[in-house]
């Protein structure tokens, strides 16, 4: 969005000139705090609760095999 990223091209130019690289550090355990997260199986972006009972922080486990989950995360990153 223009509010979050007012001048991406200008930032890229500055970063290139100053040798700065950018890395996305995705933390799976914070997924449930990201905009638009829907827990649970489709239409949610995760798995059935019974399948996650032994997973730490199991309220934030994206199912990357779900096309909806992938579309959601790219929307979060690019919007």
| Residue range of the domain that includes 62 | 8-78
- pLDDT at residue 73 greater than cutoff 80: yes
- pLDDT at residue 25 greater than cutoff 90: no
Q: Establish if 15 belongs to a structural domain.
A: yes
Q: Which residues contact 41 (CB under 8 A, 6 or more apart)?
A: 47, 48, 63
CA 71 to CA 56: how far, in whole Å? 25
Average confidence (pLDDT) over 65-77: 95
Average confidence (pLDDT) over 64-72: 97
61 neighbors 55 (Cβ within 8 angstroms): yes
Q: What are phi and psi of 4, to 5 degrees?
A: -80, -35
Q: Establish if 13 belongs to a structural domain.
A: yes
Q: Establish if 3 belongs to a structural domain.
A: no
Q: Establish if 1 belongs to a structural domain.
A: no
**Cα angle for residues 7, 73, 75 (degrees, 5° grid):** 45
Q: Establish if 25 belongs to a structural domain.
A: yes
Q: Establish if 20 belongs to a structural domain.
A: yes
Could you identify the residue written with the tokens 């994206």?
Answer: 62
Q: What is the pTM of this model?
A: 0.70
pLDDT band at 5 (very low <50, low <70, confident <90, very high): confident
pLDDT of residue 2: 73
């Amino acid at each position: 969005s223009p509010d979050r990223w007012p001048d991406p091209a200008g930032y890229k130019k500055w970063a290139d000139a100053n040798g700065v690289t950018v890395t996305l550090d995705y933390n799976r355990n914070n997924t449930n705090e990201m905009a638009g997260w829907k827990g649970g199986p489709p239409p949610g972006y995760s798995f059935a609760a019974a399948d996650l009972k032994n997973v730490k922080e199991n309220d934030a486990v994206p199912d990357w095999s779900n096309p909806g989950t992938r579309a959601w995360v790219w929307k979060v990153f690019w919007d």
